[in-house]
Every structure is written in C-alpha cells, then in structure tokens.
Amino acid sequence: MAPEQEDSQEESRTIHVKILVHKQSNKVVFVEAKKDFVDTLFSFLSLPLGTIVRLLATNNNNNDQQQHQQLLESSPFLDNIKYIYQTVQDITSNDVWNNPLCKQMLLHPRNPCESQCMKLFLNIDDTEPSSKFYVCDSCFKFTTFQNLDCTCGKPTNRQPRNLDSKRVDAQNQAFLRENGSTFLVFDDLKIVQSSAMTTLSLLKELGYSDLTQLEEITHNIDKQEILNLLKYSLTSHEPMTNTILKSSSKYKGNLPNQSSSAEGVKPCASGGTKMDVKVVRSISQKKIIFVEANGDFVGFIFSFLTMPLGSIVKLLDGNSIAGCVGNLYKSVEKMDSSLCTNSRTVLLNPGVAPYFGCPNQPLNIPDLQPPTTYYYGTGTPYETYNYSLKREVKVEGGVISKTKESIFNARLLTALDPKSPNMSREGVVGFVQRLALYGVGDDLKVKSLSANSFLLYLKELSLPIEDLQVEVISIGEAEALSFLKAFLTAKFTLTSGLGNLLDVPKLE
Ligand SMILES: [Zn+2]
C-alpha cells in the first residue's frame, strides 16, 4: 500500500466509545472503550517532548481553535517545551550544530516505542519511521536517516529493500492484549478495567449518587480529538470533558499541585556525569545574566525535546507535572499484567530512541542502542534443490537484512552516527559541537562565544562590570533533576532552573 493511502486511512479512522455524562455539571464521568482507545492514550507516554510540540502545532489549524484556547489552563510545561523547540528552530548558525541533521533530529525526534506505536489502530505520531535504510556502497556504512553524508564524503543514497520488515497488521497488539476487555477512562485519565462492581463503587466514590443526572451517549473519537486529548492531558484536570463536550467545569478544586518547588527532588545515584558551568549573575537584579558552558550543557537543555513523556514522569513525581499525565502513568503501572503485553513495561521508562540521546547528560534516562549488525548485497540467493549450488536473484537497489544467509554474497555494514560531522572519522557526542564555548542567556538564547565575542556580549547587555559576579556550579544528577523540575513547573529561565544551586548568601 502506498504511504499516502495509509496516511489518509489513519486520518479518517475513528474509535467508537460510550460516554457517561453528568448532565447538571456537563462533565464526562467516564468513557467506556475497548483496547484501541486505551492503547492510543497509553502511547502518549512514548512521545518525545519535541514530537508533542510538533503535533500540537499542526493541530492548531482547526476551527475550534478559539474555543479551545479558552479552555486551556495555564501550563508552564507546555509553554516551556514550545519555547525550547522555537529556540532550536531559530539557531541557524553552523558553529552550533555538529551537522545540519542534528537540528532536524531535535525538531523531529523518533519515538522509542516506534514499533509498538505502528501497531496502534490510531497512531498520532507521524514521525518518519526508522525502517528505511540508506547505504553508502563505497565504504559499506548504513543509516536510517535520509540525506546524510557518509563519513567518506559520499552521499548515502542507495536504498536497499529491507528483507526483515514485515507488514504491520493493525490487529496486532500494542500495549494491551486483545481479549475483549472493556476499560473505563475517567475524566482525569485514571483508567481501569470495566466491571459492574468497579463502575458502581467508583460512581459512589466520585459522588455521583443521582442516577437521573447520568446520561449515556455514544461517540466516534477521531485523530483531531486524540490530539486535543493530548494537549489537555498536559494542561487540564478534565481532558475528556474539554475534548468531547468542549466545555470545562467551573469547579477547579482538585487542580494538580503545580506550585511544588524543586526541594522534593532526590538524586537516585551518586557519582555519574557532572557538567561544570560558569554562571554570571547580576547582584542588583538577583538574577542570572548568562551561563558560559560547553556543548554538553547546551545539548542537555536541547535534549529535553528527545525525551519521552513517560521517562520524565518516571524521573519526577508525576504529580508535579501539570494536567493529568501522572494519572495516565499510574494507570499503566497499575493495570493488571494479564491484560498487558510485554511492551507495557517499556512505556513506564521508554528511554531515548537510538542516536537521540545526549551521552554526557546527568539524568538517568536510558539511551536505546541501535541494532548494529546488518548485511547488504545486490540480491538474494536462489534456493535450488542442490544446496551447494546457489545463484543470485538481483534486486534493484540491493537488499539489507540482519540475517547473513538471506543475502547473496553478503557484506557486513557498519552503522553511521547521524550526528557525525561531515568528513569526520571520529566518534561524536551529542547534537551540538562539544568543545565550543557558548553563552546561554537567562532566556535560553544560545550564542557561540569566543574571547572577543564574550566582551561584545557583555557590552550588549550594558551592565556595570562591578555588578556582575561569576560562580562555577557543578551539575550532577540531583541538580539536573531540580533543573528539569523547574522546567515543568514554572516559566522557565536559567534563574528559575539554576537559581537555587547558587551560593545565595553571597548575594547579600
Ligand atoms: Zn562512505
């Protein structure tokens, strides 16, 4: 099937659900649905933050936009990721990125659960999948990224047929098993398996005693509504009501705790990677003016875009994230294992897709390793009754496989790191040039620094030198977590992210 056809099919797919509405308050009590719907909701946890920004930006073209805007509660988290996304988009300078693809990778991060998400009935992640291969047939290197130059300088323009790729069947099971179970999805994204008993006790628990106020309606949820659900899951405590009834209840009593400070953060392990940065702050303004750091620190901030939601909820207490993704995460965690596939555990800490990690960052997020052993050839062996005699069936563009035997005269391929600078044979670390010095402003704007431009930078700020103080801080795991938490809970600046790590008494 042609990719365009698949796309349009995905666009028009809908999921049939039953909705229990409380008439008086015009609020969704719960949505009763099969695994298809719940699997799609679960997949939110696999989305890298950069993908979320990109999907929601495309989603903004719909006509209900104005109405939806009114329903949005303030979400520093969503605003901050959008801001970092924009910052990355705005950097055009060649002295920041290791190669032009690095910026594109941050703006289009791959999903660590790509293969599971491709089995979803309705998959909202339209990121280019990693199943296509590009080969340099002069030095036998391969990549899954398009338009990448090989380290030998030649383009990787050969596109062999992948013999291992199987047709993805929509009936396949992503995160939940297909056993006919029905689930209840509550307005705040708590999800449980449905049964008469649980329904009754949960209704009581939620205070819905007057059954005459409850009405059941049926509804077909489309991709647009799933995208809205994603948005409201990050901004609201009632994403179902916001999405399906396009309303919001007056009652905002159980807002998630958004004001929690960074104090509750505990380091998980001692030692590990540390990044030293020089902080220049203004004594009179009590704020950080800028930070001087190498590429590790800049790459660390940018790599928030490649981190999936599930890994971030795991790192921090889910309650500190606005909206109700914390509830979604707990629902995945608590779901009876007999109902789940093995992929459920992956969702609880998806990690970063292969090549999308930032190796020198101090957060404990797993970095998925790419499969490295692939064989390449110009054709497949022709099986004859006489096993000693093999002939080649030529395939245009060549063939690639993990199994040597399925290729005639197979050559071993080596993987090309997409982040490698052109014409370089050296291993590469991260998206930005590591050894360069950068000035990062309080507003996260990044500038490449040399000794001269550093002075210019200070002049531009037109601040009296005697008001500036320099301090070196070391960012390890605990500090990085506190930095991330500030990012999720308040309008993000370097002062909000690093301020509590400074030796404050000196300010007086
Ligand atoms: Zn090459």
- Lowest model confidence (mean pLDDT) among 141-155, 366-380, 401-415, 494-508: 494-508
**What is the Å distance from ligand 1's center to 373 Cα?**
17
The length of the chain in residues reads 508
**What is the Å distance from ligand 1's center to 351 Cα?**
30
Residue 112 and residue 223 in one domain = yes
| Measured distance CA(507)–CA(491) in Å, rounded | 23
**What is the Å distance from ligand 1's center to 300 Cα?**
30
pLDDT of residue 412: 93
Q: Are strands 183-186 and 191-193 parallel, antiparallel or unpaired?
A: antiparallel
Q: What is the DSSP letter of 31?
A: E
- Residue 306 domain flag: yes
Report phi then psi at 338, rounded to 5: -65, -20
**How many domains does the chain fold into?**
2
Is 333 a residue whose pLDDT tops 80?
yes
- Residue 84 domain flag: yes
Contact 136, 416 (CB under 8 A): yes
Query: What mean pLDDT comes out for the span 88-106?
Result: 87
Residue 367 and residue 380 in one domain = no
Query: What mean pLDDT comes out for the span 26-43?
Result: 95
Residue 93 and residue 204 in one domain = yes
Contact 396, 159 (CB under 8 A): no
Residue 85 and residue 201 in one domain = yes
Give the domain-ending residue among 356, 391, 414.
Answer: 414
Compute the mean pLDDT over every residue in the chain, rounded to the nearest whole number.
Answer: 83
pLDDT of residue 389: 66
**What is the Å distance from ligand 1's center to 136 Cα?**
5
Residue 491 and residue 459 in one domain = yes
**What is the Å distance from ligand 1's center to 96 Cα?**
24
Residue 353 and residue 379 in one domain = no
Residue 338 and residue 395 in one domain = no
Give the domain-ending residue among 414, 440, 470.
Answer: 414
pLDDT of residue 4: 47
148-160 pLDDT per residue, tens: 888 888 888 899 9
| Measured distance CA(307)–CA(169) in Å, rounded | 28
Residue with token string 């050559």: 411
181-218 pLDDT per residue, tens: 999 999 999 999 998 888 888 888 888 888 889 999 99
pLDDT of residue 176: 93
- Residue 136 domain flag: no
Query: What mean pLDDT comes out for the span 44-48?
Result: 97
Q: Are strands 287-294 and 437-441 parallel, antiparallel or unpaired?
A: antiparallel
Query: Which pTM was predicted?
Result: 0.88
pLDDT category of residue 52 using cuts at 50, 70 and 90: very high
- Residue 253 domain flag: yes
Query: What mean pLDDT comes out for the span 288-313?
Result: 92
Give the domain-ending residue among 364, 382, 414.
Answer: 414
**What is the Å distance from ligand 1's center to 84 Cα?**
34
Is 256 a residue whose pLDDT tops 70?
no
Neighbours of 389 (CB within 10 A): 9
Is 428 a residue whose pLDDT tops 70?
no
Residue 254 and residue 387 in one domain = no
pLDDT of residue 250: 55
- Residue 321 domain flag: yes
Query: What mean pLDDT comes out for the span 110-123?
Result: 93
**What is the Å distance from ligand 1's center to 94 Cα?**
23
pLDDT of residue 226: 96
Residue 380 and residue 266 in one domain = no
- Residue 71 domain flag: yes
- Residue 159 domain flag: no
pLDDT category of residue 2 using cuts at 50, 70 and 90: very low
| Measured distance CA(70)–CA(80) in Å, rounded | 19
- Residue 223 domain flag: yes
Contact 75, 240 (CB under 8 A): no
**What is the Å distance from ligand 1's center to 149 Cα?**
8
Range of the domain at 282: 3-130+175-372+418-507
